[in-house]
Amino acid sequence: MSFDLSVISNKNIIVAVTGGIAAYKSAILVRRLKDYGFNVRVVMTHGAQAFITPLTFQALSGNPVHTELLDPEAEAGMGHIELARWADLVLVAPTSCDTLAKFAAGLADDLLSTLYLATKAPVWVAPAMNQQMWAAKATQRNLATLVEDGVHVVMPEAGAQACGDVGLGRMPEPEDLARQVKDYFHKAQRAIAEKFGLLASKHVVITAGPTREAIDPVRYISNHSTGKMGFALAAACYAAGARVTLIAGPVSLDTPNGVRRINVSSAVQMLEHSMQMLEEGCDIFIATAAVADYRVAEVAEHKIKKAGNELNVSLIKNPDIVATIAQQQKRPFMVGFAAETRNVEEYAAGKLIAKKLDMIACNDVSRNDIGFASDENAMIVFFAEQYHLQKRELEKASKQEIAQQLVEAVADALHQNATVS
């Protein structure tokens, strides 16, 4: 059982808009939630329609806007029940003073108040009102009731208000609200993954990207690796419940959510940090990095000036990181990668044995449609003999999909090893 924390497109959000000048922010909120991949439906009170039209929200959400309690187009004319069952979260933004009072009193005289009582989904309110109305004892009493009932209150911000007053009562910025919704689902999914995920409680260390071996202060030896496969694997391992440390060469990629990242440049630096992770405790080591085989014997202190038609540079062999880790007494489960241009399977199977790996994934980087610069990949996976697992061919797919399949392969091998032991 694994969970991809980056995929939230199956989550259904109802954005309920009530009367108030902050209703214009709700249009941006719907757009941001859609950008994150949520399914969004909008409910509007009659007061909200005085500030912004339903057509705006229909265009932004891609769904019809719900405004009436008794909807002749809904199943059995009971639109509030359908919406209540559909929602994974109800976000009322902005929430007027009147709506807070209705919710607290349990009234059900319009679509929104009835939806509030009919849904089992979490309900969030983002109050927006005049600062004096916010401070009123009745409002605070209603808020206390809602909190006791399990409603999540997104506190208003302070600042200048449309009425000219200054104080608490401004609806939070839509980007912040959308981010809070995203984080809520990520945390909920992460909690499940940590308990039931394929790699629950495991510490996974992943090397990713190229290394740079300096020639002088401005030149270096490197390769075409972008780190995309390693970063996708880091996200997939985290989604499967693991604690993930990503040792990354110089790449321009954002750190996956929840992953600890250590930036390095050279092969020697990457090995040093890998050994340190081994001392801290590592269950699975995945070596996706394209480590330079050689480095310059003596790095020039200053920029080498152009002179003559030739430049001779002496190279020495870099340490083999994955083989070094595999030789340690307390070795983790070892996963290697082989990027080849010919005889792919033959070379990969040889590396599996020679470097004493548990598993190796190989791909043909001579293909133009997969590999270093592509967002897609196709791989063949081999396992060490003791796991009694057949090789697996992972057909061309996005690197995120390939990463999830590789996590499943690792989990299968770990399970097989535990069963045999």
Active site residue 163: yes
Check the annotation: does 52 bind a ligand. no
Check the annotation: does 321 bind a ligand. yes
8 Å CB contact between 397 and 369: no
Catalytic residue, candidates 163, 237, 282, 362: 163
In the block, which residue shows the tokens 């801290």?
Answer: 280
What is the rounded distance in angstroms from the CA atom of residue 342 to the CA atom of residue 348? 11
Chain centroid, CA 137 distance in Å: 41
User: 116 in helix, strand or coil?
Assistant: helix
Instruction: Look at the alpha carbons of 233, 235, 239, 242 in this order and tell me if their dihedral is positive or negative.
Output: positive
Residue 79 structure tokens:
């639109």
Q: Report which of 179, 118, 120, 119 is spatially closest to residue 154, judged by C-alpha positions.
A: 179
Check the annotation: does 351 bind a ligand. yes
Residue 339's φ and ψ, nearest 5 degrees, are -105, 110
Q: Report which DSSP code applies to 163.
A: T
Chain centroid, CA 150 distance in Å: 27
Q: Report which of 328, 238, 215 is spatially closest to residue 278, judged by C-alpha positions.
A: 328
Check the annotation: does 88 bind a ligand. no
Check the annotation: does 293 bind a ligand. yes
What is the rounded distance in angstroms from the CA atom of residue 87 to the CA atom of residue 241? 26
Check the annotation: does 303 bind a ligand. yes
Please give the single-letter amino acid code of residue 262: I
Check the annotation: does 322 bind a ligand. yes
Hey, which residues are catalytic here?
A: 163
Residues making up the annotated binding site for CTP are: 293, 303, 319-322, 337, 351, 355
